[in-house]
Structure 1
Amino acid sequence: MALLLDYTFSTDPAPLQTSTAQAGTRGRINVSVSDPSDAVYCNQLLIAVPLGDDPASLAAVANVPTASINTAAWNPTSVEVGALGGDPTVTWAKFTFRALSTDPADWLIGSANLVPSLDAIVNLAPGQFEYVIEETSGTDPEKLDPNRGSFTLDKVLPRFYVQNLVAVAPTAPTVPATEFALGAPILLEWEGNGTWYELYRKGISMPVYAGTATSFEIADGLLTDTTFVLVASSTGNPAHDSPSTGYETIVLYETLTLTVSNPALTPTSVKASGDVTAGGTLGVSEAATIGKTLDVTGALSAESVSTGPVAGNSLSISGHASIGDGVTVGGASSLGPTNVNGNLASTGGFWASAVTTPGLNVNGGATVGALTANGQTLVNGLLALKPGSGNAIYALSSSGVNQIAGFYNHARRSGDYITGVVSIVGPGGAYGFGTNGKYTSSAGSALLTHLETRVGHRVVTSPLVLEEEVQISGTGRLSSGRATVLLGDEAADLVVHGEEAAYRVLVTPNGRCGGLAVVERSPDGFVVEELGDGAGEVEFDWLLISRKPAELGATRPSELPDRLPEAAPPSL
């Protein structure tokens, strides 16, 4: 029966070209399978092409084509060489493709992306050959029949060609690219049936490659944008030729332009209306005036600079710097006398909204001879200031009166003043200090605070205990002399109860009764009963004291360290 599906052919080259005695020519045949009616089921395709040295064959018997397909839903499952039909004198290469799914719903072809492919070394004889397709198909998935048809494809004498000059990264050979990073290796590839190729690049009069191969790797990459010109010829090395008068070599050309994302430029002058970015070192021997933004990810060195915002990895200015808007430095900074009327930022160093300093050196931390900061100061690394016996860091709020934060080192003040770390916030309920680690004190006291009373402030402290404890309290009521207190999920996660670390419960009745006892304890709660088999209905208060669990869900308690670490002064 006739084929039920539609088939569209494409070949590379188009049409297929025969091989020569000097070199084999590869040809690829792709056939796109579709069904506009969306009603045909198919779970197998058999494709056959003739083998031999004659014009009616695709390839020699010794050069059996290879099969592939564009989808993982189908697979080329077998290849056979032998007769097809009634003529035993013709040798065929037969390829079977099968659908992997056993679900008939997946056998509907429709407009599915199904493209079987054959890759062959075409024989030397031009002509036409038969391309046979046998599909196992039908409109009823329960009754699929073999349906066969054939197509005629052409082979022509080889025509000199060169095409498809592309660039790829050696690590991604199937992904064409036109832009590469500075110095990144580049692999150039092309297709052609020439016998000699020469590759030229911009600015170089001699070829960077000459030979018979169809690829060339530029291991050191490119510094700037470059155009490549590929010259193909059907001759040997031209350097060895001695042509007679009037002879001209026939050549074909392919060009490809590649760009560099971070090129190394050496212009005679630069004028930028927008931002300027330098990935390496930017050296200015005389004055540099930047009207917009100078973004330096390497180093900036200049005798003098008058600029707007400056950003980079490191900043080195040997002369005087007057910066009218701001400076942002990504790494180390070395400055002479510097006035900054905007922001100065250094990753791992110092930042302030206004700075006036006769000398500033930032090397991950900061060593400051003199510093005036009228706004915010942020240090991501180490900030060390040596102001003698005065205040080390002291900041005021916008009012100029209320202190925001301060650190005092050997403060001159005597009497009852804090000389360590101070944090004063506006409203009394705001958070003033936080840490995701542990808080320690070597003074032998717990955290102190004072609470307001009718007769003044009273200093209070947290309890000093030998283990990390959790305290939970509440109120319960006896019913017929018995009460069950459930802790709830959140409270239960905060207590430890086991043979080695059982929690304790203190109960206090709020009315007359014969006495109370905790008769049962579990991780989820506890049971209270009246003594003497009482049956009272009295209310009671309870206080549960438990070891803190080592972590969420743990049955073992957290342990305090044997000793606290020593507090060491910063080293410069």
Structure 2
Amino acid sequence: MTATTTVSSPLLDYAIISDPYPLYAADAQSLPATLNITVSNGGASTVYCREILFYLPIGTYAQSLLRAKGGEGKENSGNWTVTRLQDDVNGGLPKGEYAKFKAVPKSGEMVAVDKTGVTFSLTGLYISTVPGTARIEIRETTTQDLTKWPVNPVFTPHKVPKFPRPAVPANVVCDFHAKPADVVEGAPDVARGAKVTLHWRGPSNLSYTVLAGSGATEVPTEVATETGEPHSAGNTNHYKTYCVQRDTAFVLSYTIAGATYHLSTTVTVKDPKLDGLTCAGNLTAESAVTLKGKVTAQKDLDCRGAITGSSLDAGTGSITTSGTIKGSALKIGTSYGIDKDGAITGSSLDAGSGNITTSGMVKGSSLDAGAGDITTSGTIKGSSLKIGTSYGIDKDGAITGSSLDAGSGNITTSGKVSDNGEILRFGDAVIIRNQHLDKTGLNEDNKANGGVSLRNINSGNARWWWYLDRSYDPKR
């Protein structure tokens, strides 16, 4: 048989913390709150518990905790069952309306409370709109002697403050971060052109502005906010999506009570796309560099490999390479070009005081070496080729022209010198011709020494050829 006893004070300790904390008097946008009640044994002896009841006052007064009925209860260890009691259960409470919760062991007997505490959570509570201090009542049925249980439970009151709600606390906006929208979450960086979504939590009645660097472009979204979890205390989840091309800093700004606040986050991008790059020191690329636009060098550009491109302009500088310079348009100083087959072409080609050396052909409608030399192991061709005075060199290597002037130099050839197809010089002999004449013409006077004279010719021969020996001495 179990004896009874009288207990004047509770054997268990209670600590209460709200979520959100601190607890504010509610307004029209407030979400339901939670009371977390931790029960522990502060003594040296084991305490046995059969039942714990929680009474939360309802009303429109400063001492009222709730403004309406509702709520659910749960316990963290799973050894207890928490239920909300009907309104007709009073249990000797002061007059008034209460939300009542009863916690009993699932075993139906009792639970020993010693060094391990128990936490009960009363969720979905509609907090009163009036600031003040509410008093909740806790009733326990406990004993330290299993043979003696109290006749009546022991009541213990606990104060729960409800603070006046500030306009909006600055830290009510929080958790501003970016995460990839189309790659694996948690990646340290994203690919160029990837989408990232900015997330933050804050009241829906605030105005938010997101500032982004030039490397990001906003992607319009249909949904801008989501309802937060119950513990978010009126906050909602907001987000915006951007497409990023390079490392970008995002800044979230909002105004509360005339003061502007900022939160920031950064997204890093692999293989970024840059609008421009200025480097005060050396620029080194360990891999290939592809330039799709114009390249301008203010000083010498030194390349030990091949430079390729559709347009390469060194301005007034020099391009020096031990490799090959290629391009459909290559400009240095004045304008000239190097075509795809390696030939140099252009309307104006000026090597300055230097030399143009090639084992191929130099071509052009106008080629002027000035006071310099044109040297080649190939063939010089052109409709007009000028060195000093005017002369021409045709495609077969023969020198032709209506006026040929070597100046003080020599004309040397192993071929023939001719005029309109007639031979003028051949070998060691200079040849003169005698066309068909009826009257005066060239005739032989002394064949031995090659002397000739003018005389009348009536023979009617078509043509006589006369050879002037180069060794002939006219004084003989």
TM-score range, shorter chain: 0.3 to 0.5
More relative contact order, 1 or 2 (CA 8 Å, 6+ apart):
2
TM-score if structure 1 supplies the norm length? 0.37
TM-score if structure 2 supplies the norm length? 0.43
The structure carrying a bigger strand percent of its residues is 1
Structure 1 or 2, whichever has the larger Rg, is 2
